[in-house]
Amino acid sequence: NAGVTQTPKFQVLKTGQSMTLQCAQDMNHEYMSWYRQDPGMGLRLIHYSVGAGITDQGEVPNGYNVSRSTTEDFPLRLLSAAPSQTSVYFCASSPTLNYGYTFGSGTRLTVV
């Protein structure tokens, strides 16, 4: 099992550009989430999904979209990148609620 796979590992965007951060898991987990981590801070929840076809907003959803067409994939879209979205993004999955999340290795995004 590969676990949670995130691509790309690094990305530089210009302000106003759009892009999609990919996340895939091969553990048949129902729950998937996207977090962002800023320097010296904990992780903040952007969006989450409790199953295919179901998504909802977390703590900091503005500027991001998600969809969950399959159990395996949970892409995060930046609609119009802003410097404030410079961060490290982590995708995570869990088999059910109130169970330890498995995290991917992250995507380091810089918006200039």
Interface residue list for other proteins (CB under 8 A): 4, 33, 35, 39-45, 48, 50, 56-59, 90, 92, 97-106
Give the nearest distance from C-beta 44 to other proteins in angstroms.
8
Give the nearest distance from C-beta 46 to other proteins in angstroms.
11
50-55: list long-range contacts, CB under 8 Å, 24+ apart: 50/97
Nearest residue (CB) to other proteins, 81 versus 89: 89
Strand pairing class (107-111; 10-13): parallel
Nearest residue (CB) to other proteins, 47 versus 78: 47
Cα–Cα–Cα angle for 82, 66, 50, rounded to 5 degrees = 140
- Dihedral of the alpha carbons of 38, 105, 19, 69, in degrees to the nearest 10: -120
Give the nearest distance from C-beta 31 to other proteins in angstroms.
8
Nearest residue (CB) to other proteins, 16 versus 95: 95
Give the nearest distance from C-beta 92 to other proteins in angstroms.
8
Tokens of 60: 């900091």
* CA separation for the pair 20, 76 (Å, rounded): 6
Nearest residue (CB) to other proteins, 2 versus 42: 42
